[in-house]
Structure 1
Amino acid sequence: MADMQDPADTRIMGIVHSALRRDLCRARMVLEAGGLDPVRRRTLGAHLVWMMDFLHRHHTAEDTGLYPAVRERNAAIGPLLDRMDGEHAAVHPAMDRLTAAARVLEQRDEAAAVLAAVIGLEDVLLPHLEHEERELMPIVDRTLSDAEWQELDRKHNLDTKSKRDLAFEGHWLIDGLDAESIGVVTGLVPPVPRFVLVHLLGGPYRKRRRTLWAGTPAESVPSLSLAPSC
Structure 2
Amino acid sequence: MDTPVEPDGRITALGNQLIGIHLALREELEQLREELEQLREDADAWLEGRGARPRELRAHCLAFCSALTRHHTGEDGGAFPALARQHPELRPVIEELEHDHQTVTEILRAVEDLVADEAAVDPARLRAELEGLTALLESHFAYEEKRLVAALNALPAGAGDAESLLGTPGT
Q: Same fold by TM-score, threshold 0.5 exceeded?
A: yes
Match of 1:107 among 106, 119, 123: 119
The CA RMSD measured in Å over matched residues stands at 2.7
Which residue matches 1:120? 132
Which residue matches 1:31? 36
**1: distance between equivalents of 2:90 and 2:36?**
40
Which residue matches 2:163? 153
**2: distance between equivalents of 1:74 and 1:65?**
14
Deviation at 1:60, TM superposition (A): 0.9
Deviation at 1:80, TM superposition (A): 1.3
Which residue matches 1:63? 76
Contact between 1:8 and 1:140, CA under 8 Å: does it hold in 2? Answer: no
1:156 and 1:98, CA in 2 relative to 1: closer, same or farther beyond 3 A? same
Listed one character per residue, the Cα deviations across residues 85-127 of structure 1 (whole Å, up to 9, x for unaligned) are 12212222112111111223x2334322221221121121221
Q: Which has the larger radius of gyration?
A: 2
Listed one character per residue, the Cα deviations across residues 21-57 of structure 1 (whole Å, up to 9, x for unaligned) are 11221222232352234341xx221111111112111
Unaligned residue ranges in structure 2 (runs of 5+): 44-52
Say whether 1:22 aligns with 2:27.
yes
**2: distance between equivalents of 1:71 and 1:125?**
22
Deviation at 1:157, TM superposition (A): 4.5
Contact between 1:45 and 1:103, CA under 8 Å: does it hold in 2? Answer: yes
Which residue matches 2:64? 51
Q: Which amino acid is 2:123 matched to? A: A
**1: distance between equivalents of 2:13 and 2:158?**
9
**1: distance between equivalents of 2:166 and 2:146?**
23
Give matches, 1:70-219, under 5 Å.
Answer: 70-104=83-117, 106-142=118-154, 144-150=155-161, 153-154=163-164, 157=167, 185=171
**Identity of paired residues, percent?**
23
**2: distance between equivalents of 1:100 and 1:88?**
18
1:113 and 1:31, CA in 2 relative to 1: closer, same or farther beyond 3 A? same
* TM-score, scaled relative to structure 1: 0.59
* TM-score, scaled relative to structure 2: 0.76
Deviation beyond 6 Å, 4+ runs, structure 1: none
Contact between 1:8 and 1:148, CA under 8 Å: does it hold in 2? Answer: no
**2: distance between equivalents of 1:146 and 1:49?**
33
Q: Which amino acid is 1:9 matched to? A: A
**2: distance between equivalents of 1:93 and 1:123?**
14
The number of residues matched between the two structures is 155
Deviation at 1:63, TM superposition (A): 0.7
